[in-house]
Structure 1
């Protein structure tokens, strides 16, 4: 079985990483056993729901029938993703999974995909992100499972490297920020590099050919005291060259070699912001039909991202909240616009939604119209509307 190691910064069950997963899955034999390690999030009350969403994602988007298992023995493909790095470390150490993951990479066998929290454990040390960022513990490292050692890399891996959720405060580097990371780097063993993987980005290592590729929308940063090298999406180097960068050897690295034009990768958060702007522009010119179709575009994106197991800012829940807000605004605008010129297209739109089985959005549109003073009644002859006091 050809060996491959995939390290993702985030977005592991989102549309942005579908092609990375598909590319890795193409190397699998027919009937390959695919295993999901749920350990990093196994402490959460919604563990079963997260696993179910991940399994649907891999089945529908990647074509992999994935089983949830406590170990990786006999697996051709292994995936582990979001949650707590330290929770996973403790359980994997007790169960022997840490050693099994190292053995897979050392043997150059099978596909191993570690993302977000699981990717954070891949180096010789791990960022205890929950303890530092959520609880306020002093910045410190935990020992990692160090699958990178099998590649000849003396490094720690930090996902979410370009995170910007903090807005007014620095949440780069997996929520550490520059101040804490700079302090923690001084505590690493001499000669240790930081490999930073941006969000919705993957570092893909072919363990047989030793080809290395950066895929997705961001980059991979090789950071050492006083220097850093950024490999943008589309970069292709080899493992010896990545080792040279991590060791800080002198010499100019070869320029990145693009495999092919990198397609634009758009996150749900960016799509939501674009829809909000488009809705505002349509509302300003009283173009209610365009405004309604913007809401439908947003709803389609929410459906597409529904399997995403990440819980970062700008996720599915926030997009749903925005969708409900825009629907409510649509009803308010309808109350002040020329109803006779608008209701025909709006009722047709509602009919399309019902025909497509999108009853939740159709009902929300009807409720918004009622809130704006228009009551819609379904009759054997079709929908009929009348003005009514706003609710």
Structure 2
């Protein structure tokens, strides 16, 4: 009997969560019926593109064929991710989906993965993040799906708990910041606590064994009754221990040593490392390899449904800057070493129908003083000026 509830802070379709997905589907047997609930982002004009990227991610990286939509009650694996929590709630609570999701958890059956906006809806109340952070509404709570109540957990779930995109202003706690969260926390019913899930982090709850495990890059923070408990990656806790933490009556369980796992870099961290290496690269060959490595990372993160700070646009900007720098600093002899592999990269991108990135390579070459002309015999290049 398999029953698992996974709450992800972010990174649900990024390389950082691949092993988490693989781990929870491994117990489902061959060819499980898997559905993606697109409800949280269904209002977006690019909803189909987001779903297609997610399907590609699960097929290629996880080995799971996913259907968009479908009947929750008959699915082995259900996933929902980014978008607007309140948009999703309006539709789920108005139909059978909310009841079907609750029934899965209550029956301790199947795998249910809720990430980002969808994770926000899992508790007794929900953060209306679009309305508060983007529209400027006064802080308030919306009702939640309350999936955790059958587990004896009186809690709200706050993903993106350690978000730092704001830079000069506080965007922790799903963009609320400490001031607004403290105010909202006081408005929660007595005995209701907060489960804060960091970005690129997941809480995997075994519904049958009643055991929760923290995996990924960050921590699970439990706030309740003026107390604060932090469970780092690798920590496990029984649901009984979590209930005690949420009542403010217990301390975090002792973390047992776990096997070290290679820390998966985010795309933002990879871009920063590539820029630092590029600045000290020993010659054009080394610099070109760094550019190619970055292009590979951009492709690897292309399926990410919800980009955190340092997403693909920022990575492409860094790629353009590197190529432009090479072109600006090189003469004919250096260009002869650098341009051919970049043109080969452009040709491969075109074959893969990544036309926007291929055009970016050509544009960056132009900014660096290299004119690229497409001819019947292939691309031809020359130095401008």
Q: Output the CA distance in 2 between the equivalents of 1:303 and 1:112.
A: 28
> More displaced, 263-272 or 313-322?
313-322
Q: Output the CA distance in 2 between the equivalents of 1:313 and 1:99.
A: 35
Counterparts of residues 291-370 of structure 1 (less than 5 Å): 291-335=287-331, 339-340=332-333, 342-350=334-342, 353=345, 368-370=364-366
Q: Does 1:268 align with 2:260?
A: no
TM-superposed deviation, 1:382:
9.9
Is the contact between residue 324 and residue 364 of structure 2 (CA under 8 Å) also seen in structure 1? yes
Q: Does 1:170 align with 2:197?
A: no
Is the contact between residue 127 and residue 140 of structure 1 (CA under 8 Å) also seen in structure 2? yes
**Inter-CA distance 159–385: structure 2 relative to 1 (3 Å threshold):** closer
Q: Output the CA distance in 2 between the equivalents of 1:113 and 1:304.
A: 22
**Inter-CA distance 334–209: structure 2 relative to 1 (3 Å threshold):** same
TM-superposed deviation, 1:385:
6.4
Gaps of 5+ in 1: none
Aligned length: 381
Q: Output the CA distance in 1 between the equivalents of 2:359 and 2:131.
A: 43
SS at match of 2:256: coil
**Inter-CA distance 240–371: structure 2 relative to 1 (3 Å threshold):** closer
The residue number in structure 2 matching 1:179 is 179
Q: Does 1:255 align with 2:260?
A: no
**In the alignment, which of 290, 293, 301 is matched to residue 286 of structure 2?**
290
> More displaced, 189-198 or 232-241?
232-241
**Inter-CA distance 141–162: structure 2 relative to 1 (3 Å threshold):** same
Q: Output the CA distance in 1 between the equivalents of 2:378 and 2:315.
A: 32
SS at match of 1:213: strand
**Inter-CA distance 70–33: structure 2 relative to 1 (3 Å threshold):** closer
Q: Give the TM-score taking structure 2 as reference length.
A: 0.92
Counterparts of residues 1-391 of structure 1 (less than 5 Å): 1-69=1-69, 71-250=71-250, 252-282=251-281, 287-335=283-331, 339-340=332-333, 342-350=334-342, 353=345, 368-374=364-370, 387-389=383-385
> More displaced, 215-224 or 255-264?
255-264
Q: Output the CA distance in 2 between the equivalents of 1:227 and 1:312.
A: 29
Q: Output the CA distance in 2 between the equivalents of 1:59 and 1:279.
A: 33
Q: Give the TM-score taking structure 1 as reference length.
A: 0.91
Which whole-Å deviations, capped at 9, do the CAs of 1:216-239 have from their partners, x for residues lacking one? 100000011321111011112222
TM-superposed deviation, 1:59:
0.7
TM-superposed deviation, 1:29:
2.6
SS at match of 2:202: strand
Larger radius of gyration: 1
Which whole-Å deviations, capped at 9, do the CAs of 1:342-381 have from their partners, x for residues lacking one? 2343245246536856676777556545544455679999
SS at match of 1:35: strand
Q: Output the CA distance in 2 between the equivalents of 1:111 and 1:233.
A: 21
Is the contact between residue 124 and residue 155 of structure 2 (CA under 8 Å) also seen in structure 1? yes
Is the contact between residue 37 and residue 69 of structure 1 (CA under 8 Å) also seen in structure 2? yes
Is the contact between residue 331 and residue 365 of structure 1 (CA under 8 Å) also seen in structure 2? no
Q: Output the CA distance in 1 between the equivalents of 2:142 and 2:73.
A: 25
